[in-house]
A and B are shown apart, each in its own frame.
Chain A
Amino acid sequence: MTDLMISLRRSPRTLLERDGHPGPGPGKLGLVMARAGVGKTAVLTGIGVDAMLSGQKVLHISIERTIDKVREWYDEKLVEMLKQNKKLEHLSSLQLIMERNRHIHTFIGQTFSVERIGQTLDLLRDAMEFVPAVIILDRMEYAQLDMPSILELKAKAKEIGAELWMACRTHRDGPAAAPGHLPPPAESIEDHVDVAFSLVPQDAKVRLHVIKDQDEMIGKDLNILLDPQTLLLVTGVTAKK
């Protein structure tokens, strides 16, 4: 099973590993940037699946969404991965592994706060001995996090040894990124972003770019596509321009 799990891994985190980076690491923040509807959540879910396939625990936090909906994304992603690898017979065992290594926490009715995330992390640790290595924050545009909140989140993540991944929505008609900076609205927090990817729609395809890695601002097309049908990352020949 472990070999299969390793062979299924495919996400921006693995790309960083291949380039010799260990991922953002504890207390570090990774950002997935794109405009609405391009596939940020798909990439975030992919990061969650990837972490679980590598044996890590994942806390997926969402706003105004049901647990069933978030579970559905993970299940769909896993089904697609197994289909492509012709290993669908392992679905139920892998689903079970995912369920044991994942906790979905949703906030509805404007109840989100960074303080509540901290309390939830404490509760999960104390009541279930669940300490995530990866925390995914989905739909944070609804939370409108300010700088102190980001710093508080990073501090909490560092305390428990978790890395943070967050989606950031850019605007179609918004101002372009200034040279050497992240696109708005992330430029205001860019000093605290450790890794940033962007999803760039181009000729009916969505390409994955790395735009920041540790202290370096880059802007490299990774020759990776987000398949709009399966919402999986596609590497290799098909991804080339």
Chain B
Amino acid sequence: MSSDIHKIRNIGISAHIDSGKTTLTERILFYTQRIHAIHDVKGKDGVGATMDHMELERERGITITSAATHVEWNDYHINIIDTPGHVDFTIEVERSLQVLDGAVLVLCAVAGVQSQSITVDRQMKRYKVPRIAFVNKCDRSGANPQRVTRALRDKLNHNAVLLQLPIGLEADFEGVVDLVEMRAIYFRGDNGEKIEYGQIPAELQAEADQRHAELLDAASMFSDELMEAALEDNATPELIHEAVRKGVLSLELTPVFMGSAYKNKGVQPMMDAVTRYLPDPTDVPIEAIDLDSDGAAVELQSDPEAQTVAYAFKLDEGRYGQLTFLRVYQGTLRKSDTVIQTRTRKKIKIGRLVRMHADKMEDIEAALAGDIVGIFGIDCHTGDTFAAPGPQINMTSMFVPEPVISLSVNPVDSKAQDNMSKALSRFTKEDPTFRVSLDPESNETIISGMGELHLEVYVERMRREYSAEVETGAPQVAYREAISRRADFDYLHKKQTGGSGQFAKVVGYIEPSTDGEYEFIDKIRGGRIPTEYIPACDKGFRASLDKGNLIGFPVVGLRAVLTDGNSHAVDSSDMAFMTASRMAFREAYKKARPRILEPVMRVSVEGPGEFQGAFYKSLMQRRGTVLGSTEDGGFARVDADVPLAEMFGYSTDLRSATQGKAEFTMEFSKYAPAPKEVSEELLKQYRTNVSDEEDA
């Protein structure tokens, strides 16, 4: 491993499902000599692509969990995280984006910018990840990389600029024109490994000249030197590369490359672009929190001699136990080092340190700042920070969305019960959006996550990887309750049953809070409630939020304000004030017009324009609020907010309404008040369930 941090690239490969990113990764592994034969994603040869290392992924032809791999290209060290393409696994994407410095956005030359690309791009913007684009599948019928580049500008607002032109397209796709060096590149040999340079074909010369000029125009916005050189007709490839890099790093320019990973064309120049234009770890400022200084932000330095700080972004259960993927942000992580897990303050000794290559690994002695490595034998969760003794540094916490859907899982026998426990324990450590709880009434285990597919995959993994046969209940939507207006309370809790009694009086009001969070405000003046009992009041209100009185779901967005009260020198206690607060909450809650909130998903449906009406209808039928529609050539996209409760089975309905030609993505948007008829139905169901339980 080189000690030159400027030669490290941590990149992600993100795209819409079926854009061919796994095939692309496979080719990268081949060209960097990490593998010696090429396999297809769907495994015609029964082997499957190397990065899709889980059995389930191979079967479905999709990438479910990220797999990290390390490759070397022209003296550069590149850590690649292959990210999932389905929106139900966005936490995987988000994890990757947090530890990556740059990304390759893979787009299909036929389908262009699809709905998932839009979601992934939005996530990349959130994490300020510089990116380059690779238009794949140029060999397919209907391929049009120029149209895809326009869509990058129009649909994603990228300042996209072509760095290549295709030589031929569809079945005639032969290679690319390099618009920087102004030469043709062909990919010969059985696997495209022999690169040949040649003159630009005469029929493409005029277009290449025009695109070269456009490239100079776009790149010179980031370099005065290039601008001057271009004016004097003296722009060198070095000046262009430098200017493009500046544009990419500032997130203001997206260079577009093209090829066909499947046909072994265009991959190597894209790899050159990764090393040339994407940032090294020193280009990206890394902010962490210093817990010793009251959570003050500190900028980490990519200095191998500084205090070591590393971040666990992915866990995997391998043959040798739990494998934790770490990004080293500062200092050097060495085998046998002792680091402190910030969350638990436990001392951890680094045993085995490995560099990953999909499902194979290589033992190493040390990892420098900027690198991504795996360690064995550590009990931790994703999102944990490890730091060498010194200031308590924690990486900024990752944005974790709340689960929106739940499912009961019941093991079929006692063996399955044990295995299920093991599986759930591992999954919750791996995936912060996957939660497990126990329903106290039914005593059933409840799993919660980000969508139907998300939970389906975990149920399937329980069966396959842990032999845990389980029966699942119907999916349940994670409703919430919230009050809609202020209501006062004045509650006296007084009990005298012999011995020391209980006395507590609380006066105040509850009201909706605008930010959706719980807030407790103490406005007691003159010690009407002694200070030591105030936390018990807070606790009492907080405990009441776990289960609302309407349909038994958690209460959100509530502010409890305590204005007055009373206490007794002997009979008051924490317990008395907690009880008083809980009863006061119950009293006020009914008056505060509580209502049911339902999770609403942002749904994007996309397909041929002839189905636009069908999209509208299907969304309206599901209580959707259509936000807008976009026409792009013969394609139409409709965006809508739709309650999650209405989205079950949508993919089947959409397929049958559009002969399988349309697709959709969805992600959590917000919680919104459920309409009257839905609320009434939920109330009815809740009452029936409660009375059934009482009867039983």
Chain A interface residues (CB < 8 Å from chain B): 64, 66-67, 69-71, 88-89, 96, 99-100, 103-109, 111, 116, 120, 123-124, 126-128, 130
CA distance A71 to B612 in the complex (A): 20
- Does B632 sit at the interface, judged by CB under 8 A? yes
A residues less than 8 Å from B157 (CB atoms): 66, 69
Query: Which B residues, 621 to 674, have Cβ-Cβ distances below 8 Å to chain A?
Result: 625-633, 639, 641, 672
CA distance A127 to B514 in the complex (A): 35
Question: Chain A contact residues: over half helix, strand or loop, or mixed?
Answer: helix
Structural contact, B632 and A127, CB atoms closer than 8 A: no
Q: How near does chain B come to A45, taking the closest CB pair, in angstroms? A: 14
A-B contact pairs, 25 of them (CB 8 A): A66-B154, A66-B155, A67-B628, A89-B514, A99-B625, A99-B641, A103-B628, A104-B629, A105-B630, A106-B628, A107-B631, A107-B632, A108-B154, A109-B151, A109-B632, A109-B633, A111-B631, A116-B631, A124-B616, A127-B617, A127-B620, A128-B616, A128-B617, A128-B620, A128-B626
CA distance A104 to B620 in the complex (A): 16
Structural contact, A111 and B613, CB atoms closer than 8 A: no
CA distance A40 to B389 in the complex (A): 59
Known: A66-B155, A123-B613, A127-B616. A71 touches B627 (CB 8 A): yes
Q: Among B612, B616, B631, find the residue whose CB has the most chain A CB atoms closer than 10 A.
A: B631
Structural contact, B616 and A105, CB atoms closer than 8 A: no
CA distance A126 to B613 in the complex (A): 8
Q: Among B156, B620, B627, find the residue whose CB has the most chain A CB atoms closer than 10 A.
A: B627
Query: Which B residues, 484 to 540, have Cβ-Cβ distances below 8 Å to chain A?
Result: 514
- Does B147 sit at the interface, judged by CB under 8 A? yes
Query: Which B residues, 578 to 637, have Cβ-Cβ distances below 8 Å to chain A?
Result: 612-614, 616-617, 620, 625-633
CA distance A70 to B612 in the complex (A): 20
Q: How near does chain B come to A152, taking the closest CB pair, in angstroms? A: 18
Interface size on B, residues (CB 8 A): 26
- Does B150 sit at the interface, judged by CB under 8 A? yes
Chain B interface residues (CB < 8 Å from chain A): 147, 150-151, 154-157, 514, 612-614, 616-617, 620, 625-633, 639, 641, 672
Q: How near does chain B come to A71, taking the closest CB pair, in angstroms? A: 7
CA distance A104 to B627 in the complex (A): 7
A residues less than 8 Å from B147 (CB atoms): 109
Q: How near does chain A come to B464, taking the closest CB pair, in angstroms? A: 39
A residues less than 8 Å from B150 (CB atoms): 109
Query: 5 nearest interchain CB pairs?
Result: A104-B628, A67-B628, A127-B616, A108-B154, A127-B613
**With contacts A66-B156, A104-B628, A108-B155 known, what are 4 further pairs, Cβ within 8 A?**
A89-B514, A108-B631, A108-B632, A109-B154
Q: Among A64, A67, A104, A130, find the residue whose CB has the most chain B CB atoms closer than 10 A.
A: A67
CA distance A50 to B231 in the complex (A): 49
CA distance A130 to B613 in the complex (A): 12
Within 8 Å by CB of B616, from A89, A116, A123, lies A123
B residues less than 8 Å from A109 (CB atoms): 147, 150-151, 154, 632-633
Q: Among A88, A89, A106, A116, find the residue whose CB has the most chain B CB atoms closer than 10 A.
A: A106
Known: A71-B628, A96-B672. A108 touches B151 (CB 8 A): yes
Q: How near does chain A come to B656, taking the closest CB pair, in angstroms? A: 17
CA distance A120 to B612 in the complex (A): 9
Q: Among A89, A105, A126, find the residue whose CB has the most chain B CB atoms closer than 10 A.
A: A105
CA distance A69 to B672 in the complex (A): 22
CA distance A66 to B150 in the complex (A): 13
Structural contact, A103 and B626, CB atoms closer than 8 A: yes
In the complex, the chain A residue whose C-beta lies closest to that of B634 is A111
CA distance A44 to B633 in the complex (A): 26
CA distance A226 to B404 in the complex (A): 43
Structural contact, B630 and A108, CB atoms closer than 8 A: yes
B residues less than 8 Å from A66 (CB atoms): 154-157, 630
A residues less than 8 Å from B633 (CB atoms): 109, 111
Q: How near does chain B come to A88, taking the closest CB pair, in angstroms? A: 8
